[in-house]
Amino acid sequence: MAAPSLTPSTAAHARPSPPRGTAPAPPGGRLAKSLRRNLTAHGFLIGAVVCFAVFSWYPMIREFLLAFQKTEDGRVTWVGLHNLTTVYHDPAFWQAWRNTLLFTVLALLLGFAVPFVTAIVINEFRHGQGYLRLLVYLPVMLPPVASVLLFKYLYDPGYGLLNEVFRVLHLPEQQWLQDPDLSMLSVVIASTWMNMGGAALIYLAALQGIPGELYEAAELDGAGLFRKIWHVTIPQTRLILSLMMLMQIIATMQVFVEPFLLTGGAGPEGSTTTVVYLIYQYAFNFNNYGAAAALGLLLLVVLAGFSAVYVKLSRNDNE
């Protein structure tokens, strides 16, 4: 498969096929024709390729180089593993990983289960499906700053709506974002509200692809509601569920905007400092691009593990 793009044209020449004959013969021989064809094709490609080269591929390489370099007054020196040890000895290092992991686990408990259950429930309704789908997806379309600052207002311990609801229900009022034990959960709740619409709609589409006979067969075997979910719904959507879970792990481990806007990034006692926020601090508060790149590299390695699983699963999906 060295040059698969050449096979169609050579095959066309080998066959005594009439179609080519009617086309006006291009000047030059077969080589010139192939050259011309490739030049046109690359002409169509060049714009995107240049953008990728400058803004994607080059930064990818540079990320690796930066992690082992130090830039001082415009002078670049190689420092080996120095940046990695700096990052590792930062007191915030383990806290950031713990918080990121906590966010990911909470985001999965909420952000994974809630949309799936939502999709199952909506799918059962014979009425109003369009309205419910619209509602669930509405927050996804809002500018994130609007949703996040709105949540900040809702979370306010004094005049916030949430504590008012708690008061009416005679539940103890909470400090939400100011409470180190609760701040991360508050961030996750806001994040779930903002982002669950996409997942819910994808699950809904998957549920609608389940053949109805499977449920009928399960009923003949005497299965109740929960056994039908366990033995039909979940196995039938297993692939999409696992893909979505991995995509969500990868996305949530990169969380930045929600904690940055809700708690200013670090949060009370550093309780919402995430890995990406730490990267941001190194790069843009301390101008330490080397440390930022080194931590980025660590995050990349961790996520690459998940990505590898994801690629493997999507391969199976395509077969």
Site for another protein in 176-195 (CB under 8 A): 193
C-alpha span between 177 and 261 (Å, rounded): 11
- Identity (one letter) of the amino acid at 269? E
Q: By CB under 8 A, is residue 81 in contact with another protein?
A: no
Q: By CB under 8 A, is residue 265 in contact with another protein?
A: no
- Identity (one letter) of the amino acid at 194? M
Site for another protein in 89-108 (CB under 8 A): none
Classify residue 280 by burial, with Cβ atoms within 10 Å: 0-12, 13-18, 19+: middle
Site for another protein in 287-306 (CB under 8 A): 289, 292-293, 296-297, 299-300, 303-304
Among 84, 184, 188, 201, binds another protein (CB under 8 A): 201
Nearest distance in Å: CB 295, another protein? 9
- Give 224-229 contacts, CB < 8 A, sequence gap 24+: 229/120
**How many CA atoms does the CB half-sphere of 301 hold within 13 Å?**
6
Among 160, 259, 265, 267, binds another protein (CB under 8 A): 160
Q: By CB under 8 A, is residue 29 in contact with another protein?
A: no
Among 13, 30, 113, 131, binds another protein (CB under 8 A): 131
Site for another protein in 107-126 (CB under 8 A): 120-126
Q: Give the interface segment with another protein, choosing from 75-83, 103-111, 174-182, 274-282 (CB under 8 A).
A: 274-282
Q: Which of 35, 31, 16, 74 is nearest to 289 (CA)?
A: 74
Nearest distance in Å: CB 74, another protein? 11
Q: Is 76 helix (H, G, I), strand (E, B) or coil?
A: strand
Nearer to another protein (CB atom), residue 184 or residue 253? 253
Q: By CB under 8 A, is residue 171 in contact with another protein?
A: no
Distances (CA, A) of 40 to 7, 19, 21, 223: 18, 21, 21, 61
Classify residue 73 by burial, with Cβ atoms within 10 Å: 0-12, 13-18, 19+: exposed
- Identity (one letter) of the amino acid at 73? D
Q: By CB under 8 A, is residue 33 in contact with another protein?
A: no
Site for another protein in 203-232 (CB under 8 A): 204-210, 212-213, 215-216, 219, 225, 228-229, 232
Among 88, 153, 230, 286, binds another protein (CB under 8 A): 153
Nearer to another protein (CB atom), residue 14 or residue 23? 23
C-alpha span between 111 and 254 (Å, rounded): 15
Residue 272: DSSP 8-state: T
